[in-house]
Structure 1
Amino acid sequence: MNLAHFLTQAARRHGAEVGFVWGERTWTWGEMERRVDAMASALLHRGVAKGDRVLVQSKNCNQMFESMFACFRIGAVWVPANYRQTPDEVAWLAKAGGAAAMICHAAFPEHAAACRAAQPGLRSIVSIGPSDFGDDYDALVARHDGEKPAAAAVDRDDPCWFFFTSGTTGRPKAAVLTHGQMAFVVTNHLCDLMPGTTEQDASLVVAPLSHGAGIHQLVQVARAAKTVLPASERLDVEQAWAMVERWRITNMFTVPTILKMLAEHPSVDRYDHSSLRYVIYAGAPMYRADQKHALDRLGPVLVQYFGLGEVTGNITVLPPRLHSLEEGEGARIGTCGFERTGMQVSIQDDAGRELAPGETGEICVCGPAVFAGYHDNPDANAKSFRDGWFRTGDLGHMDEQGFLYITGRASDMYISGGSNIYPREIEEKILMHPDLAEVAVLGVPDPQWGEVGVAVCVPRPGSTLGEAELLGWLDGRIARYKMPKRVVFWEELPKSGYGKITKKLIREELERRSAPAPSPNG
């Protein structure tokens, strides 16, 4: 099935009902279907054909959401960029993905120019809003209004989406997502993350549609649940809670850092959020202290899943009933859940042998949600697949009942005095201190021990906590060989464009702050 048929189904059954909200504006399912048809026709008239890649550089807006379905409808490949990336970074995506066309928000003329220069095969640019670099999106929709191109016939393995990885260890890679794979993912999300979702539901978007939020919203369309976009470009927590109350939001997808902001903001208690059934978080494990606070403020609505873009977020799930405020029987503390329906997880050593329960190794996965491979990157494919398993690069272990515990990224582990140190465990302990809001532990070179740990901490407002006091508090709570050798305090931790705490950015900032100041004479 062509994934754009989800929208057609919603329009047939619920055409006069609101399907999309952006600030104060609304669109019915019927209006969205008509607009997607018109843009699909416009792309066809501009020479975009099945299999062509369409790069999208845009902030969240209705046109960006529509562009996904317009591309799917004609069999083109939707290639969304993180709109916070620089012109040069997006130009690299255009070239690496072989973009034939581009849909670019008028706020990014430098990105359009850089892409045109870097990718000679870029034949057409459509501008969201009036600009000097392309035809206006809404004007094209008006010009082709009423046209209804036939949906392209697609096979299960036909690509529909190039999902660019975040590139924390190098250039982003284009993970190829297919129509059949994504149909499985949509079904699985409805089964494991949001059971019982119907046209009566509504979903609030608090993350860029270019990545996980886009997948989440595609799932909503499959059940004709409305999507609600806040008016503000940046996260406005009070506005978000106001929209939860106004639109009776039942689910949202987010990452732990944003969920933490939502749960800790005073406005959480000023608005009615009793409609919420599923607050889904992914992208990183959530620290236990933050998890407990969110449960206390929001109730038993938390759903955690673990999954990379390459597996479309589809590896494990921890449903609401297994989130618990209490530490007693039944609580699953520190786990990211059990295998998603139709998926299989294996903990393997460096040689690909499966390890016993409780043993730490690389988390590997197989099943219908695994992507088709990286576009035009045989070296990356060779490294990422082994004997039919996709290697996530994450470390962890499973217990006897099949619950998965993530230790951290393989790249985060460091070796101090011959012992493997997994920062995640130390960070969990440090965050139990009431004066700390965030922490990241990294290994840095040391002439005596090889590497030692540095804890970068963000104190809560008004805290006077110092290094010696924190290390004294930690003494006895973790093994001595795991103790950080240094503690530094910053006002905030640098985060990726998706709101994740990223060790690569923290390490760069740590090195910058540790560098000696240049002499006055140069």
Structure 2
Amino acid sequence: MTGLAPDPKGGVAPFSKRVMNLSHFMRQAARRHRDAIGFVWGERSWTWAELDRRIDAMAAALAARGVTKGDRVLVQSKNCHQLFESMFVCFRLGAVWVPTNFRQMPGEVAYLAQASGASAMICHSDFPGHVSAAREAAPGIQRVISIGASDFGEDYDALVETYAGQAAPTASVAYDDPCWFFFTSGTTGRPKAAVLTHGQMAFVATNHLCDLMPGTTHQDASLVVAPLSHGAGIHQLAQVARAAKTVLLTSNRFDIDEAWALVARWRITNMFTVPTIVKMLTEHAAVDEHDHASLRYIIYAGAPMYREDQKHALRKLGKVLVQYFGLGEVTGNITVLPPDQHEIEDGPDIRVGTCGYERTGMQVQIQDENGREMAPGETGEICTCGPAVFAGYYANPEANAKAFRDGWFRTGDVGHLDAEGYLFITGRASDMYISGGSNVYPRETEEKILKHPAVAEVAILGIPDTTWGEVGVAVCVLRPGEGLGERELLTWLADKVARYKLPKRVFFWDALPRSGYGKITKKAVQAELEARGCLPLDRQIQASA
């Protein structure tokens, strides 16, 4: 980042603004709360002092193997304490943490290795094929550390023991020095590396504590129910900033009963999740079998929560829901809807469907296709600016040119602001389809369908049609024990949305495909429709004729 300083001529001269190395969050926690538990996984726990020593030791081990400031370290691992530590190891060295989603295939991870220019890799022992693929795609990877015994690298914990008591110097960093390559999910193409920086992420952690979890202290505890490689990792960074303990599920299989048992055992006060996981947590019988009175904040992001699911969660948990809207490129920091603005009942003063107002220090603007600011109530692209916006995509000038306009980051989401600045998301620009010349944003119809008592989940996407250009296709999941037919649902829906918004076809499945982060993506639904022979629609219509 360029700052300003006096120069001999009485003006100002640029300088690089030094900021706190993010690993100092861990150091602070270890100094103030050294013997308190900082991390829990199953029956094992680590104090803040133990975590800090382990991070020092691994940083020393990597430094001895040539990892220096600016090097990219690819990390392929399930949730575990070593994955958590690796973030701070990289930060301490001034290296760049490049975590993958552990569910990705070897070829996908190989692409991330090549795209990031990784020179080192930390990989869980369960993924030898990922190491081979990554090294083939990125020959620059000279050092591999294995979490657990393996044939492909040095053992992580053995290195921690070997270098116990040693520490690499904490790297000096400037505001714009990269600390994390946050790969986008790639719903519109190959993943891109969003560059997150030390200065930016210090703001993000502060903003999370200010807007999402006010009052968080060392007496709090956070349950991890999502991969630490992405949004949950950002959330845990904020926990470390206040020395709040982190608790992991014992395995990477999402066990809802265990999740609620851990809430009760560790007096969990907050968790980061996504709407589909909130839905699963609150619709499971275990929610009524374990004490969850300690919960203050259940933070959900990644997509707006459907209103009926929101109401159910509020009935089960009380007013503990916190919604935020954001993308990886803005590290989740665009809007917030706090607990006191989540209401069970609809009413004239309730803003149903909003994802909240601007986060502290951030600005939101609705723009048309030419970048002109639109008036309240007008629909356009959601754009944002502020300290939480990333530095840009790594080595991708074309993507950067598309993502930014006049300093505004273009989210690709469509919506509108009301007169008081509350944001309403209509959908992704890419989700919108044009039927008979009219723009259709599927979310409105999805919300209506979810009011049917038999429907648990729904996804609608636009499909090419020879008559109308595009038409909607709905895929529904029914609640257990319920029965519903296509014609019955469309008849029920007919007086609730305009005719051009009605899906042309409805399919019923046992489950909707989800991404590795628990999101239902339209791209995956379309692929599954094609795999099941449901598309093209002309073939379906001919078959039923």
Deviation at 1:479, TM superposition (A): 1.3
In structure 1, C-alpha distance between the alignment counterparts of 2:501 and 2:167, rounded to whole Å: 63
In structure 2, C-alpha distance between the alignment counterparts of 1:170 and 1:501, rounded to whole Å: 17
Amino acid at match of 1:305: Y
1:433 paired with 2:452, answer yes
- 2:5 aligns with none
Amino acid at match of 2:267: R
Amino acid at match of 2:223: L
1:217 aligned to 225, 233, 236, which one? 236
- 2:213 aligns with 194
1:179-222 deviations in Å (ceiling 9; x for gaps): 00000000000000000000000000000000000000000000
Equivalent residue runs for 1:304-453 within 5 Å: 304-453=323-472
- 1:8 aligns with 27
1:499 aligned to 507, 518, 527, which one? 518
- Equivalent residue of 1:336, what SS? strand
1:361-416 deviations in Å (ceiling 9; x for gaps): 00000000000000000000000000000000000000000000000000000000
Check conservation: 1:415, 1:451, Cα contact below 8 A. Answer: yes
Amino acid at match of 1:432: K
In structure 1, C-alpha distance between the alignment counterparts of 2:252 and 2:436, rounded to whole Å: 47
In structure 2, C-alpha distance between the alignment counterparts of 1:23 and 1:362, rounded to whole Å: 44
2:100 aligned to 48, 71, 81, which one? 81
Check conservation: 1:324, 1:332, Cα contact below 8 A. Answer: no
1:257-305 deviations in Å (ceiling 9; x for gaps): 0110000000000000000000000001100000000000010000000
1:453-480 deviations in Å (ceiling 9; x for gaps): 1111011111111011111111211111
Equivalent residue runs for 1:238-277 within 5 Å: 238-277=257-296
In structure 2, C-alpha distance between the alignment counterparts of 1:75 and 1:391, rounded to whole Å: 29
Amino acid at match of 1:426: T
Equivalent residue runs for 1:147-296 within 5 Å: 147-296=166-315
Tell me the matched-pair count: 517
Deviation at 1:121, TM superposition (A): 0.7
1:59 paired with 2:66, answer no
Check conservation: 1:455, 1:484, Cα contact below 8 A. Answer: yes
- Equivalent residue of 2:309, what SS? helix
Taking only the aligned residue pairs, the percentage that are identical comes to 74
1:477 paired with 2:496, answer yes
In structure 1, C-alpha distance between the alignment counterparts of 2:331 and 2:96, rounded to whole Å: 16
In structure 1, C-alpha distance between the alignment counterparts of 2:351 and 2:124, rounded to whole Å: 44
- 1:520 aligns with none
Amino acid at match of 1:272: D
In structure 2, C-alpha distance between the alignment counterparts of 1:258 and 1:196, rounded to whole Å: 25
Amino acid at match of 1:82: N
Amino acid at match of 2:262: M
Check conservation: 1:322, 1:330, Cα contact below 8 A. Answer: no
In structure 1, C-alpha distance between the alignment counterparts of 2:393 and 2:465, rounded to whole Å: 37
Check conservation: 1:323, 1:332, Cα contact below 8 A. Answer: no
- 2:47 aligns with 28
Deviation at 1:329, TM superposition (A): 4.3
1:326-359 deviations in Å (ceiling 9; x for gaps): 1124422100000000000010011000111111
In structure 2, C-alpha distance between the alignment counterparts of 1:195 and 1:163, rounded to whole Å: 26
Deviation at 1:120, TM superposition (A): 1.1
In structure 1, C-alpha distance between the alignment counterparts of 2:519 and 2:494, rounded to whole Å: 29
- Equivalent residue of 1:470, what SS? helix
Deviation at 1:148, TM superposition (A): 2.1
- 1:68 aligns with 87
- 1:115 aligns with 134
Check conservation: 1:75, 1:160, Cα contact below 8 A. Answer: yes
1:301 aligned to 315, 320, 324, which one? 320
Amino acid at match of 1:2: N
- Equivalent residue of 1:187, what SS? helix
1:19 paired with 2:38, answer yes
- The alignment's C-alpha RMSD in Å is 0.9
Amino acid at match of 1:53: R
**Where does structure 2 lack aligned partners over 5 or more consecutive residues?**
1-19, 540-545
Amino acid at match of 1:326: E
Deviation at 1:515, TM superposition (A): 5.4
Amino acid at match of 1:163: F
In structure 2, C-alpha distance between the alignment counterparts of 1:309 and 1:330, rounded to whole Å: 32
Deviation at 1:485, TM superposition (A): 1.3
In structure 1, C-alpha distance between the alignment counterparts of 2:398 and 2:195, rounded to whole Å: 15
Check conservation: 1:38, 1:145, Cα contact below 8 A. Answer: yes
Amino acid at match of 1:183: A
In structure 1, C-alpha distance between the alignment counterparts of 2:324 and 2:349, rounded to whole Å: 19
In structure 1, C-alpha distance between the alignment counterparts of 2:30 and 2:24, rounded to whole Å: 10
Amino acid at match of 1:359: E
Q: TM-score, normalised by structure 1?
A: 0.98
In structure 2, C-alpha distance between the alignment counterparts of 1:287 and 1:329, rounded to whole Å: 19
Amino acid at match of 1:503: K
- Equivalent residue of 1:214, what SS? helix
- Equivalent residue of 1:263, what SS? helix
**Stretch moving more, 58-67 or 144-153:** 144-153
1:125 paired with 2:144, answer yes
In structure 2, C-alpha distance between the alignment counterparts of 1:315 and 1:424, rounded to whole Å: 20
1:154-190 deviations in Å (ceiling 9; x for gaps): 0010000000000011110000000000000000000
1:467 aligned to 486, 495, 517, which one? 486
In structure 2, C-alpha distance between the alignment counterparts of 1:251 and 1:329, rounded to whole Å: 30
In structure 2, C-alpha distance between the alignment counterparts of 1:329 and 1:218, rounded to whole Å: 39
In structure 1, C-alpha distance between the alignment counterparts of 2:351 and 2:33, rounded to whole Å: 40
- 2:507 aligns with 488
- Equivalent residue of 1:99, what SS? coil
